[in-house]
Structure 1
Amino acid sequence: MKDVIFDDFQNTVSESLIRHKSILDIITKLQESNARINRAIVKSVTNCGCIEVNAKKQNTLENTNMDIESLKTCLSTQVKGTLCDNCRDVIQNEIGNNLFYLTSLCNALDLNLYDILLKEYDKINTLGKYSFR
């Protein structure tokens, strides 16, 4: 059933994309949409203040005997707080636009988004925590 949703989304994107059909337009719109996601997150910190970024060095290399489970607990997203409803909506919309252009790129290159997702999912499941992403 999920593959139907992905295929339907990919087909709908293909039918919806009219102005930016050139591969060059698609990749630049994808890059622009990625920048808009970044900007929306930054504005959540700097304008709204619903989240904070507490960025600092993540000390993991000092302890060379650290196992994977310990590593997972000592690393942090460095995000403090929770997105407010407004910031959440804005970021979700920007990510949606990004998915649209990513799907457009798949269409332009005759790639199936669901197949890509499955391949990545299988890789993650095979390597698990050892994929080190």
Structure 2
Amino acid sequence: MAMKDLLVEDFQDAVGELLVRHKSILDLLSKYQESTARVNRAIVKAVTTCGCIEIDAKKQNIPPDATLSELAELMDTHLKGHLCDDCRDIIEKEMGNNIFYLANICNTLGLNMYDILIKEKEELDTLGYFNMK
């Protein structure tokens, strides 16, 4: 078993052992949704409260003759600046909580996170640019 495989499985097992409350799939789904909202809020606060990053959103300017391989270079993230250490720590914590609840949902449904990652990676490798997510 590869080190990456062990890391994901060890994490998923640890999460399963530590979940005491919110065992119901309904609780897990609502906690996962709440944790996603907290990730979003932490990013918004990096813009509106801290100001370490800015959002400069406008229509994506894609020339009509652009090729599919050029598309990735032409698309803009609309972000300006870089996360400060404090905002990075908060966002990482919220993303960690989000992954915690995702792992619990996987456990409850009998899914293996590592297998899901492998399948997604295989799909990306197979479809490449045609994946278009």
TM range, smaller chain: over 0.9
Structure 2: which 5+ residue stretches go unaligned? none
User: What SS does the corresponding residue of 1:19 show, helix, strand or coil?
Assistant: coil
User: What SS does the corresponding residue of 1:13 show, helix, strand or coil?
Assistant: helix
- Deviating above 4 A after TM superposition, structure 1's stretches of 4 or more consecutive aligned residues are none
1:5 is matched with: 7
User: What SS does the corresponding residue of 1:106 show, helix, strand or coil?
Assistant: helix
1:84 is matched with: 84
- Matched-pair contact (CA < 8 Å) for 2:25–2:105: yes
Q: Shift of the alpha carbon at 1:12?
A: 0.3
Which whole-Å CA distance do the structure 2 matches of 1:112 and 1:69 have between them?
A: 33
Deviations 1:42-84 (A, max 9, x none): 0000000000001111122x51x21023212211111000000
Report how many residues are paired. 131
Give the counterpart letter for 2:55 in structure 1.
V
- Matched-pair contact (CA < 8 Å) for 2:12–2:107: yes
* TM-score, length-scaled by structure 2: 0.95
Q: 1:55 aligns with which of 40, 49, 57?
A: 57
Which whole-Å CA distance do the structure 2 matches of 1:125 and 1:70 have between them?
A: 18
1:46 is matched with: 48
Which whole-Å CA distance do the structure 1 matches of 2:17 and 2:30 have between them?
A: 20
Structure 1: which 5+ residue stretches go unaligned? none
User: What SS does the corresponding residue of 2:17 show, helix, strand or coil?
Assistant: helix
User: What SS does the corresponding residue of 2:120 show, helix, strand or coil?
Assistant: helix
Give the counterpart letter for 1:120 in structure 2.
E
* TM-score, length-scaled by structure 1: 0.95
Percent identity, please: 55
Which whole-Å CA distance do the structure 1 matches of 2:6 and 2:74 have between them?
A: 39
Report 1:61-80 matches (<5 A).
63=64, 65-80=65-80
Superposed CA RMSD in Å reads 0.9
